[in-house]
Amino acid sequence: MNHVSRQHSSDPVTLWQICDGKRGHQNQSTGLIEALRRHAPLTVCRVAAPPLMRSLASCLNRKTPWARDLPPPQVAVGAGHATHAVLLTLRRVYRARTIVLMRPSLPLSWFDYCLVPSHDNPPVRDNVIITTGAVNPIQLQSNHDPGHGLILVGGPSRHYRLDPVALLSRIRQLLAGHTRRYWTLSNSPRTPAQLTRELAGLEADGVDVVLWDQCDEGWLAGALARSSDVWVSEDSISMIYEALTAGCRVGLLPLPRKSASRLHRAIDQLQHDRFVCTQDDWTSGAGLPVPPRPLDEANRCARLLLEMGLLTE
């Protein structure tokens, strides 16, 4: 069996970031890796997850021809079900320490560390770190422009339906209620084409519409850094947590819910804890809440992992 020993504390640790091609999953692992990098030197290799059968074959024969030109990993990080078999392979072949983000479909004990959001109801175990939402790469900002607001629109999903007429009405109400504020409005890949055209038609003096396919990878982080108030359609759970992580005040644009789900529980908990409020609360005069505490899950988890011995023998 190959054995990758831990290096001297001053030497970079070789970490493989296993990617399944989904931007949201990659954002999660990138957020954790960047946080770890702030505490320890890392050499990071981004590796595309091979098909399941190739991963299983590698696990059985202890060979990884799909990554033969890479230095052996000491740590491997992945988010998304397609990364699980790869992580297990790297644990078996290289004795790499594995970190899985989100609740895996396989037993938690098969991974060295599991970072699982509280809304996934994780059990209390020594290798489980419970997070508030998904880890992300956004950093807390302290210089938001009080005159700038951001509106982020998602679309239908497994958990939400879309009422375009009602949603547009709510957005127009926001724009009309803050005539002295400059707004940036953006959509997402899930936003239907007709709604996207309607949103583009809202561009005017004081309202800039930036469509998702016109944005580079760092656009959202920059927009959150500028904006003091952020309104997000309720389906866009990752953007809600990213806005809170940036230190913004966050309001929700409600969408019709489908049958009860874990994401609804997460939204309800954020409302209960006064991290966010709905537009109906805002129109009643309550205003957007100042988050009761910063959300800094990537850095918190990185510190915990180091305390748990991630990079030590």
pLDDT in tens, 89-126: 999 999 999 999 989 989 999 999 999 999 888 999 99
Query: What token pair was written down for 77?
Result: 């990080």
pLDDT of 3 over the 50 cut: no
Confidence of residue 137 (pLDDT cuts 50, 70, 90): very high
To the nearest whole number, what is the mean pLDDT of the chain? 90
Which residues on adjacent β-strands are paired with residue 76? 16, 98
Query: Of residues 309 and 279, which shows the higher confidence score?
Result: 309
Do the beta carbons of residue 148 and residue 182 sit within 8 Å? Answer: yes
Total Cβ atoms within 10 A of residue 293: 9
Do the beta carbons of residue 97 and residue 4 sit within 8 Å? Answer: no
Query: Of residues 12 and 9, which shows the higher confidence score?
Result: 12
Do the beta carbons of residue 176 and residue 167 sit within 8 Å? Answer: no
Tell me, what's the pLDDT at 313? 64
pLDDT digits (tens, 9 = 90+) for 144-167: 999 999 999 999 999 999 999 999
> Do β-strands 182-186 and 249-253 pair in parallel, antiparallel, or remain unpaired?
unpaired
221: Cβ contacts below 8 Å, ≥ 6 apart: 137, 138, 139, 246
Q: Which of 50, 42, 34, 128 is nearest to 83 (CA)?
A: 50
pTM to 2 decimal places:
0.89
